[in-house]
Amino acid sequence: MPRVTGEPTSGALYSPGPASSTEDLELAELGEEIPQKHTLLKLSGLLLLTSPSLGLQVCWFLLTSSGTPYLISLGIPKSIISLVWVTGPISGAFAQPILGVFSDDSQHAWGRRKPFIVGGSLCATIFLLALAYSEELTAWAWSSSVDRSASSAHLPTQILAVFSVVVTTFALQAYAVGVRALIVDNTPPSQQSVAASWAMRWNVLGNVVLSSVGFVDAQWSSTDVNSDDRFKLLAVVVAACTFTAVGLTCYFITDQNVAPLRDRQPSFAQQSWSIISPTGLAKRWKQIPPRSRRVCEIQFWAWAGWFPVLYYMSTFAYETALSDKLEQRQRQFGEPDLELIESAKDFGFFASFAFALGAFAASISLQILDRYKPAFSRNLPRVWFASQCFLGYCMHLTFVARSGTTAAIVVAMMGSTAAVTMWAPFALISAEISELSVGTQDSEVAWILGLHNMAISLPQIGSTLVCAVILAVLKVLGVEDSVAWIFRLSSIAVFWSAYLIHKSH
């Protein structure tokens, strides 16, 4: 297979009309014809270009769906676990914009994006495996046998696990910077929406693969299999998916180095501070194209609502199933059966599986609509608006979810909206910055995507703190369905993001 390159076409470029000078530029303008800067990519090229999204997604999905139960099994307090998960949004908010600028300015022989993809993915998978095998690694280092009964209080194991999570979340920022910028760099403007949709499909496939492995293992493995062993299996699957996807892309896709040479480079500290300082952020925020700026504003509120869904969907299904089973048992026998706790845990895996299936079904539906309705991809704002409204509606269905099965159905319905969330905003931003970079050599793709990721990550930090406070208050009040109330309150931010989409459109 020949390598896919992004060579400019030899013909004259289409000249776009003058852009609006107002900041309230309509998102619907994305549907207008935009110029080409590369030859159109074939399906094989699009698949190879976007395939690293699979590895990126399985890494995040493993952490969000199974990370908390695994850390709890190591004896790490929930208060510490909450602080550990904050490192993800923090690194996304501040590390990714810095990495984006360094990627844009990179003069590496491999290109501007590949060093970040390879380095980030390699580091992330190594430390994910270290997280999964933290008991064995610390037992070997301290020359002691692995004793599961004592490992929960094994401080070195807990320290290694927390350190591995922190390093993994940071490494994934470098991975994400390279993957998303490489797609924009090598895709012509008219295919940005198509490329974003294929990246979304790889994301959905990653969810399906990982959740399927976990669900099948939970259903068909022997009853004495420990949940820690299941996490190890999933970590190995993640490593295999990531290495395969990144290897194929790095071999077949050309990453051209077009960063301008500068006589004097500021120091790392100076350049980093100039990016994340209030003055630097304000300056760069004003430089963001108007359509992308509006998408970032919407994403800020959208992800304030999405964070609880991603991190608490398994807990929601588990708590709902456990409450239902214990109530039935107590009604029949007069006392609860603690063995039901283990059976309720299966609904946690089932919820992740249902979420992935919902996203997968939605991605297929979107593909069918896009193929048979040519105007569908030009109405992304309307699709995004409908998706956010449906997500908010699903959050209120928690009032009627009273069993593990109904909870899983609600989670699956939420998952169907994730497909649009992984597609629409990235397609809108990618198309605009790709269009604006036509005919230029000084690309600033990665730092714009980095600021977009900051708009996604900052509300997650706030959402983490708000959720912690709400859960603590509900615990004092004796409310059993605390996670369900988290979902219901989060719908406020989701509906507000839908309003902003409608207002912009």
The pair of structure tokens assigned to 486 is: 């988290």
Q: Which pLDDT belongs to residue 362?
A: 93
Residue 396 burial (CB count, 10 A): 13
**Contacts for 151 with CB less than 8 Å, ≥ 6 apart:** 74, 75, 135, 139, 157
The pair of structure tokens assigned to 117 is: 């993809």
Q: Which pLDDT belongs to residue 465?
A: 85
Distance between CA atoms of residues 375 and 455, nearest Å: 29
Contact (CB, 8 A) for 459 and 492? no
Q: Which pLDDT belongs to residue 264?
A: 54
Distance between CA atoms of residues 44 and 37, nearest Å: 19
Q: Which pLDDT belongs to residue 7?
A: 38
Would you state the torsion angle of the CA atoms of residues 172, 173, 179, 181, taken in this order, to the nearest 10 degrees?
180
Q: CA separation (Å) from 31 to 19, 189, 378, 388?
A: 14, 11, 4, 20
3-state DSSP assignment of residue 71 = helix
Domains belonging to the chain, first-starting first, are: 47-257+272-504 (1.20.1250.20)
Residue by residue, pLDDT tens for the chain (505 residues) are: 444 444 333 333 223 333 344 444 445 444 444 444 557 889 999 999 999 999 999 999 999 888 887 888 888 887 788 788 888 888 888 888 888 888 888 888 888 899 999 999 999 999 999 999 998 888 877 765 445 444 444 788 999 999 999 999 999 999 999 999 999 889 988 888 889 999 999 999 999 999 888 878 777 765 555 667 888 999 999 999 999 999 999 999 888 766 555 555 666 566 666 666 777 777 778 888 888 999 999 999 999 999 989 888 888 888 888 877 666 655 555 455 555 666 667 777 788 889 999 999 999 998 888 888 777 767 889 999 999 999 999 999 999 988 888 999 999 999 999 999 999 998 899 888 877 765 444 456 777 888 888 899 999 988 888 888 888 888 888 887 888 999 999 999 999 999 999 998 6
φ, ψ of residue 481 in degrees (nearest 5): -90, 60
Q: Which pLDDT belongs to residue 11?
A: 33
Q: The pTM is what?
A: 0.79
Q: Which pLDDT belongs to residue 235?
A: 95
Contact (CB, 8 A) for 478 and 354? no
The pair of structure tokens assigned to 316 is: 């929601």
Q: Which pLDDT belongs to residue 118?
A: 96
Environment class of 201 (CB within 10 Å of its CB; exposed 0-12, middle 13-18, buried 19+): buried
The pair of structure tokens assigned to 389 is: 């409204």
Distance between CA atoms of residues 180 and 430, nearest Å: 9
